[in-house]
Structure 1
Amino acid sequence: MSLLHPAIARPGYRHRMGLAVACALWLAGCASDYQAPMDDRSSALERTPPLIVSNGQEVPATPRRRAEVSASGSNTAGGGNTASGASTSPVGASTTVVRPATLGGGISRTTISRSPATGAQSATGASPAAGASPAAGSSPATGVSPATGVSSATGAAARTHTVARGDTLYSIAWTHNIDYRRLALANNLAAPYTIYPGQQLNLIDSGVSESAVSAMPDIPASPAGELTGSTGQRPQAAIDARRTGSVNTRQIDGVSWQWPADGRMLSVFSESGSNRGVDIAGVQGQAVYAAADGDVVYAGTGIQGAGNLVILRHSARHLSAYMYNRGMVVGEGDRVRAGDKIAEMGTGPNGRDMLHFEVRVDGKPTDPVRFLPSR
């Protein structure tokens, strides 16, 4: 009688047990040389692809490639993001820098940059342009005001005027929208109020009193560096071509006004805009008339953008100007009567035949329609 357990005595049992012991020994041997699938100290993940048994045949598996994260803030020399410019360093490497970036519409996201962080880089990882100025205003060293963007040197130049040959106090005051009497007082000019080419005139009249302005005598129209050949008389050419027939007039502030040209009005006065007068349509060579009695205080081309310009003084407070003339009949110092021909109509800057007419009261632009009669 056998002392072995019946299961042990069963045929093939000893063979199976032998195989089991051999497998256990093999596994123990493998365990002694076991390596982790990932080395934490490496910058790349490397694994041996496993074998796959398909239909009884061993097929090597294709290793799955890790997706590479490109730095959205890294640009090529041309300024665009390209695949070749993307770094292959894994996320979590020592060179990985995460920065917030602001997109259009105020949306914020986080971008990943592969380049080492430097203090010169901006929020998107790009270096600022060389010599770029700060975004919030200019440095005080530049003398530029952040609010206006005008340098102190420019502001100083805007408060003075360099007299050019042919200038008169009236044309300078007209150019800078100030009262000619205040201009003379601000510069301590005395009779006969002569100015010279190259002279620097102060344009700040805040210290001039109203009583001093009211006491000012008439200032002659003396062009700088030139002699006035006029004797204060009415030019014969102006008289010969003066307006005839019935003319509508309007009395304002002691001055009798009439329209300076026959034609429809093309534009209206704009106190806040660039049109400081009215445009009157006509044809080249058409007569331009004095809108009121007065003296010619400027006749020339020295004011940029005005063409052949005539300025008349009708009272101490009232001046009128006639721009874009083809020719002028009068000169500085001449006397004119309302309706006398003073010029011939020319072409405006838009290529249209027209007269641009302005009125100034105490040096300030005023709507000419307030003074002109209805027609």
Structure 2
Amino acid sequence: MKQAKMWTQITLCGCRINRLFIILITLWLTACSSAPPADVADRRQPPTRKILVHNVSPGETLYSIAWRYGLDFKALARHNGIGPPYTIYQSQQLRLDIDDASRRKPPPAIAASARRPVSSGSNSTAVAQGPRSTVNTTPPPKVNQAPRSENKTPAATTPPLAPLPSGAVQWRWPANGPVIGRYSSGDGLNKGIDIGGKVGDSVLAAGAGRVVYAGTGLRGYGKLVIVKHNETFLSAYAHNDALLVREGDSVKVGQQIAKLGSSGTDKQKLHFEIRRDGKPVNPLTYLPKR
């Protein structure tokens, strides 16, 4: 009897100890959770902005480079201190890190240096922006020379450019085939429209202007023509079978500038784009209703 009573007392004592332990643990956890969190310093360095640079290759123009990166050619020229007639040089480095501030005013450091080509040789071949991509063999200014005047043409072999048409662009369809691909915004999506047809069909200038690029230097576009209509609008005609115009040519609205083909793609079609201030827009909002 005494032994049973003793075990009962021990059991009750153990229960009290367990209860007391549970209460103490509960109070300690509550105190920890109510305590203010310790300050944690963010020791990560702010991300360094990468400066994008494009090295000019033979055959490229300021317009084709701006088109490739979705930039306004005027902003690209200002950002690199380049004035009309927008002459660039082979191996010249063009900075592409254009933000809102640089669209308004070029960085002072770039304005003095961007006109010099970056090349290991003593002479750099110019990629002229004038008609027929005339090559300028005049050596660029040395590093310690003062920058050339913005309005001074690089060589006397290039005739003056014909003026651009005045007034609003009178748009027309660049081909007669059906629309087989529509414009969609966003990266990697269709930045224009695709017009079906067969090889050799006429590709027409959608508006009057001047050819500022004609070649195959833009990946994914095949044989490409870019027409400048005014200081706001450019249009592009891609995947041609043959080009019938050259850089510097003036074209009238409806003039044949190429033959439809499948260069740079697996389908016979004309890929047509309109860009306003360097940004793609839906061509169907500008072309007349069929």
TM-score (norm 2): 0.62
Instruction: Please state how far the C-alpha of 1:347 moved relative to its aligned partner.
Output: 1.1
Tell me, yes or no, if the aligned pair for 1:196 and 1:224 is still in contact at 8 Å.
no
Q: How does 1:298-337 map to 2 (within 5 A)?
A: 298-337=213-252
Query: For the structure 1 residues 225 and 163, does the alpha-carbon distance in structure 2 shift closer, same or farther, using more than 3 Å as the test?
Result: farther
Aligned mates of 1:174, 1:196 — CA distance in 2: 18
Matches within 5 A, 1:101-250: 155-156=50-51, 159-206=52-99, 207-210=101-104, 221-222=129-130, 226=135
- CA drift of 1:204 comes to 1.9
Q: Which of 159, 169, 178 pairs up with 1:255? A: 169
Change (3 A) 1:255 1:308: same
Aligned partners of 1:164 and 1:224 also within 8 Å? no
Q: Which residue of 1 aligns with 2:282?
A: 367
Larger Rg, first or second structure (1 or 2): 1
Relative to 1, partners in 2 of residues 1:282 and 1:297: Cα closer, same or farther, differing over 3 Å? Answer: same
Amino acid at match of 1:183: L
Aligned AA (2:69): H
Provide the rounded CA distance (Å) in 2 between the counterparts of 1:347 and 1:230: 34
Listed one character per residue, the Cα deviations across residues 123-158 of structure 1 (whole Å, up to 9, x for unaligned) are xxxxxxxxxxxxxxxxx9xxxx8xxxxxx79x44xx
How far off is 1:160 after superposition? 1.1
Is the 8 Å Cα contact of residues 263 and 281 (structure 1) preserved in structure 2?
Answer: yes
- Paired residues in the alignment total 199
Other structure's SS at 2:57 match: coil
> What is the CA-CA distance between 1:226 and the residue it aligns to?
3.0
Summarize the alignment of residues 19-98 of structure 1 with structure 2, pairs less than 5 Å apart.
none
Identity of aligned residues (%): 42
Amino acid at match of 2:276: V
Q: Which runs of 5+ in 2 are unaligned?
A: 1-43, 107-127, 137-156
Q: Structure 1: any 5+ residue segments left out of the alignment? A: 1-139, 146-151, 213-219, 234-252
- Residues 198 and 349 of structure 1, relative CA distance in 2, 3 Å threshold: closer
Q: Deviations over 1:288-347 (max 9, x none)?
A: 000000000000011111111000011101000000001101000000000000000001
TM-score by length of 1: 0.49
Residue identity opposite 1:269 in structure 2: Y
Q: Kindly state the Cα deviation for residue 373 of structure 1 after the two structures are TM-superposed.
A: 0.5
Q: Would you tell me which structure has more helix in proportion to its own residues?
A: 2
2:259 matched residue in structure 1: 344
CA RMSD of aligned residues (A): 2.9
Q: Deviations over 1:219-266 (max 9, x none)?
A: x83487836878757xxxxxxxxxxxxxxxxxxx81110000010000
In the TM superposition, 1:282-297 aligns within 5 A as: 282-297=197-212
Q: How far apart are residue 205 of structure 1 and its match?
A: 2.2
From the superposition, tell whether residues 200 and 181 of structure 1 become closer, same or farther in structure 2 (CA, over 3 Å).
Answer: same
Q: 1:256 to 1:199 in 2, by over 3 A?
A: same
Sort the Cα spacing of 1:264 and 1:314 in 2 relative to 1 into closer, same or farther, 3 A.
same
CA distance in 1, matches of 2:222, 2:288: 27
Deviations 1:271-302 (A, max 9, x none): 02421000000000111000000000000011
- The one-letter code sitting in structure 2 at the alignment partner of 1:208 is S
One-letter amino acid matched to 1:226 = V
Amino acid at match of 1:266: I
Cα distance in 2, alignment partners of residues 302 and 209 from structure 1: 26
Paired residue type of 1:276: K
Residues in 2 aligned to 1:316 and 1:171: alpha-carbon distance in whole angstroms: 15
Greater RCO, 1 or 2 (C-alpha within 8 Å, sep 6+): 2
User: How much has 1:187 moved relative to structure 2?
Assistant: 0.4
What's 2:196 paired with? 281
In the TM superposition, residue 208 of structure 1 has moved relative to its aligned partner by 2.8
On the 8 A contact 1:194/1:224 being kept in 2, the answer is no
SS at match of 1:208: helix
